[in-house]
């Protein structure tokens, strides 16, 4: 797996569509999922559609962090241990940056990138109303900042967010366009602590 493929995989897709940035279009596919304990049903079918609103999300600015290990993923019955890592989400004025740092040296964390330190995974805009936030990728800026070439994350996803005194929690993950696929546990299985 190349580094750029790993970055795209970490960004929330089970399979990456190999298309050029110039040909990037948003499909109407969406997948609704949440991480649930064995024997429980996922969230009911989605009704919000697949097009992000134009309004900037009201999700609070700040830097948030969460950590998920390969053992956590196994406990949640999630096969792709490449989702393990220490994830840092920076939110500022309707934009976001998502980074990942390995929690082990096994070469599996952060999309099996084998990076010794944190890597920038994706960049984009935050759209939404009320408690729904849409993460809309900016593939051009992501390519400029990461060098991901034609395999940059495209599409996006949305979730329900909730603020609490320690940070944020996410639920009801929905992958959109190229990102349609299984939910990533790094988003919804544990809270995100505000670090600044």
Whether 35 and 185 have beta carbons less than 8 Å apart is answered as: yes
User: Is the residue at 38 inside a domain?
Assistant: no
Residue 146's domain comprises 3-13+52-194
Looking at the domain assignment, is residue 37 inside a domain? no
> Does the residue 28 lie in any domain?
no
Q: What CA–CA distances, in Å, run from 88 to 44, 132, 150? A: 29, 20, 24
Q: Per the structure, how many domains does the chain have?
A: 1
Banded model confidence at residue 19, pLDDT cuts 50, 70, 90: very low
Q: Is 196 exposed, middle or buried (0-12, 13-18, 19+ CB in 10 A)?
A: exposed
Q: Give me the helices (H) in the chain, please.
A: 3-10, 70-75, 109-112, 139-146, 185-188
User: Could you report the per-residue pLDDT of 136-158, keeping only the tens digit for each?
Assistant: 988 888 878 877 765 666 678 99
pTM for this structure?
0.73
User: Is 145 among the domain residues?
Assistant: yes
Position 126 in a domain: yes
- Calculate mean pLDDT across residues 56-75: 93
Q: Is residue 101 part of a domain?
A: yes
Backbone angles phi, psi at 184, to 5 degrees: -100, 125
What pLDDT does residue 94 have? Answer: 96
Asked if pLDDT for residue 27 goes beyond 70, the answer is no
Q: Residue 100 pLDDT > 70, yes or no?
A: yes
Examine residue 45 and state whether it is found in any structural domain, yes or no. no
- Given a cut of 70, whether residue 3 has pLDDT beyond it is no
Q: What percent of the chain has pLDDT over 70?
A: 65
pLDDT digits (tens, 9 = 90+) for 165-176: 899 999 988 887
The tokens of 58 are what? 């009201």
> Which whole number is the average pLDDT over 25-52?
45
Q: Give domain status of residue 39, yes or no.
A: no
């Amino acid at each position: 797996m190349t580094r750029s493929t790993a970055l795209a995989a970490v960004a929330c897709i089970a399979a990456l569509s190999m298309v050029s940035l110039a040909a990037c279009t948003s499909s109407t596919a969406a997948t609704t999922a949440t991480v649930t304990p064995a024997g429980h049903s996922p969230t009911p079918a989605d009704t919000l559609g697949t097009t992000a609103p134009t309004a900037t999300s009201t999700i609070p600015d700040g830097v948030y962090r969460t950590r998920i290990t390969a053992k956590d993923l196994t406990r949640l019955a999630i096969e792709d241990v490449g989702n393990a890592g220490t994830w840092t989400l920076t939110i500022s004025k309707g934009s976001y940056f998502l980074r990942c740092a390995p929690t082990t040296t096994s070469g599996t964390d952060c999309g099996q990138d084998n990076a010794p330190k944190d890597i920038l995974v994706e960049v984009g805009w935050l759209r939404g109303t009320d408690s729904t936030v849409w993460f809309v990728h900016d593939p051009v800026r992501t390519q400029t900042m990461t060098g991901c070439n034609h395999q940059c994350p495209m599409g996006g996803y949305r979730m329900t967010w909730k603020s609490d005194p320690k940070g944020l929690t996410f639920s009801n993950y929905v992958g959109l366009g190229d990102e349609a696929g299984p939910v990533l546990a790094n988003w919804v299985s544990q809270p995100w602590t505000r670090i600044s």
